[in-house]
Amino acid sequence: MKIISYNVNGIRAALNKGFIDWLKAANPDVICLQEIKALKEQLDLDVFTEAGYIHQYWFSAEKKGYSGVAILSKIKPDHVEYGTGIESMDVEGRNLRADFDGVSVMSLYLPSGTNDARLNHKLEYMDMFQEYVNTLKKEVPHLIICGDYNICHEEIDIHNPKGLKNVSGFLPVERKWIGNFIDSGFIDSFRFLNPEKQQYSWWSYRANARANNKGWRLDYAMVAQPLQENIKRAVILSDAVHSDHCPILVEIDK
């Protein structure tokens, strides 16, 4: 099962930059999208169907042009769960889960902490999400949580760890949380298979950051520990340029 996760920074903008041709070439079984910034009604869904993704699930934010996640799949899921049941998360369209035979895939978009109010919201969200996942794993142990976590875990995951230590996304409290999240029963699939590789998944649009590879690794495919032996491949697809993020891929042997 080949799974891709991609913060597209606006699905309509990505479509205008050749997203569908890229998707056909990448050919995942399941793709998790974040920051779609669109309502289902604003999209021509036929383009995804024609690419082979006949099973489409869109969970948009209530605020137009903001946030939102989706899962597109060639495989019909057994069950789809929209949101977490926690209102402050769900109004922003940040969690969507599709259960397949033996594996459950979640598309997650954690908030960014762009100012003090949003940072507080992010920290509250992180705590609530951890509690939610702790409960969910009892029911759904074979869980893969893909998405934009808006956090770099270790110094290897960011281009300037000393200079950015006080910036949201690399704050000690955020790094501690994602470390604890992994310790609660997950595997950072990319780091598991690439322990020394310094590669990023997001670059600022400012100061030619992508050309200079001044990036951050904010996107993860977190795989529940019971699936450790099933992880076959985990890569960052940095050649895709439809967004300020690039896609990540994890391949699971079911």
- Structure-block tokens of residue 20: 């569908």
- CA within 13 Å, CB half, 197: 13
Residue-wise DSSP of 21-84: HHHHHH--SEEEEE---S-GGGS-THHHHHTT--EEEEE--SSTTS--EEEEESS--SEEEES-
Q: Is 21 known to be catalytic?
A: no
> What is residue 194's three-state secondary structure?
coil
105: helix, strand or coil: strand
Q: How far apart are CA 106 and CA 207, in angstroms?
A: 33
Extract the tokens encoding 233. 């491949």
Q: How far apart are CA 76 and CA 88, in angstroms?
A: 29
- Which stretches does DSSP call E strand in 126-207? 143-148, 186-188, 202-203
* Burial class of 199 by CB neighbour count within 10 A (0 to 12, 13 to 18, 19+): middle
Which of 29, 99, 148, 219 is labelled catalytic? Answer: 148
Q: What is the rounded end-to-end Cα distance, in angstroms, of the chain?
A: 7
Report the residue count for the chain: 254
Active site members? 148
